[in-house]
Amino acid sequence: METKHLETFVAVMETGSLSAAARRLGRGQPQLSQWMAELEADTGLELFQRTGNRAIPTEQAKQWLPWARQAWQQLQAIQRRTQALAAQQLWTLSIGVEECIPASMLTPALIEWQHQWPQRQLDVCQYSHRALVEALQQQQLQLAVAFEHQDHIHQISYQRVGRIDEGYIASPAWLQSLSPMPNEAELCQQRELVWVSHATELDQPDEGMNDNAWLLDDLALVKQLLLNGQGYAVLPLQAVMQEIEQHSLQVFYPSFEPDSITRRLQLLWPTGFEDYAEMASLLRCVRSCMPGRD
């Protein structure tokens, strides 16, 4: 069984006839008929019933079509990846986003990049900072969007690209039970809803974390609990802007934090990857969409 056999079979099944498949593939109809006969001999399946100049698909052909189509698509992907490898190009790019940074802010950048590189694959996942660094060092990630940290990582390049504001968030009803600017002791008595990324991190809470904290790796769940008055959270304002504008959630300011918390953002990538055209393009696209960029 050869690639041409699978391509021809899928074309015949999708177009409905040998003549239509020949026009799609730019081949002669006798050639396609011969390849279909070879495919039947290779597989031992009776794929078509021949009546005059017509080839009518059998039930076996209809059952085999999803497998053949999947195999053909995989072969096409292998060919594209092989071409990319031979040309020293990146086929798949993986982006890591540090927990508590809304990955949704990358949407414009990813759409723009996809227009430039439509045949490439892209993975986007969220990580704790430690897991992010490990994945970069092992080159499991090609790019990371992270909060600015003081550590300098060997063979990892970085660039400061913007900032996001965080704030203390709760429902208006929940806030009625607190003083206008609650102090640290008062907040320690309340439930804190902490948005984290990986379940593997849940058993390693921060030393300064509220004893009443709930660790949650789903932002939608955090917001639902906030809306139902189950505590407060420190979140990027961008992640809850819609709820704030609808007045279903509210920013409040404790006495020890009388303003929004501004956190710098940076891009991290394995040194040298910026030389790939796909990576250079992705860096430009992501830089352009960063909030608060200089």
Interval 100-135: pLDDT, tens: 898 989 999 999 999 998 878 889 998 888 889 889
The CA distance from 199 to 216, in Å, is 8
Give span(s): CATH 3.40.190.290, the chain.
164-262
Q: Which fold has domain 3-86?
A: Arc Repressor Mutant, subunit A (1.10.10)
pTM score, two decimals? 0.63
Give the pLDDT mean for 81-106: 76
Q: Confidence band (pLDDT; 50, 70, 90) for 88?
A: low
Q: To the nearest 10°, report the CA torsion of 101, 254, 170, 223.
A: 20
- The class that CATH gives domain 92-162+265-289 is alpha beta
Give span(s): CATH 1.10.10.10, the chain.
3-86
Q: How confident is the model over 139-183, as pLDDT tens digits? A: 889 999 999 987 777 788 999 998 999 999 999 999 998 877 888
- Provide the total of helices (H) and of strands (E) in the chain, helices listed first: 11, 11
Of the two residues 77 and 273, the one the predictor is more confident about is: 273
Give the pLDDT mean for 17-29: 86
The fraction of the chain above a pLDDT of 90, given in percent, is 33
Q: Residue 202 above 80 pLDDT?
A: no
Q: How confident is the model over 33-86, as pLDDT tens digits? A: 898 889 889 889 888 888 776 788 889 989 999 998 888 877 776 665 565 555
Q: Residue 265 belongs to what H/E stretch? A: strand 261-270
The CA distance from 231 to 192, in Å, is 6
User: Which amino acid is present at 8?
Assistant: T
Give the pLDDT mean for 13-39: 87
Other beta carbons less than 10 A from residue 105's beta carbon:
20
pLDDT value, residue 95? 95
Closest CA to 37 of 76, 4, 69, 70: 4
Whether the Cβ atoms of residue 233 and residue 226 lie closer than 8 Å to each other: yes
Which numeric CATH code is attached to 164-262?
A: 3.40.190.290
Helices (H), the chain: 3-15, 18-25, 29-43, 59-86, 107-116, 129-137, 172-175, 184-188, 219-227, 241-245, 277-289
Give span(s): CATH 3.40.190.10, the chain.
92-162+265-289
Q: What is the mean pLDDT of the chain?
A: 85
pLDDT value, residue 203? 47
Q: Residue 231 belongs to what H/E stretch? A: none
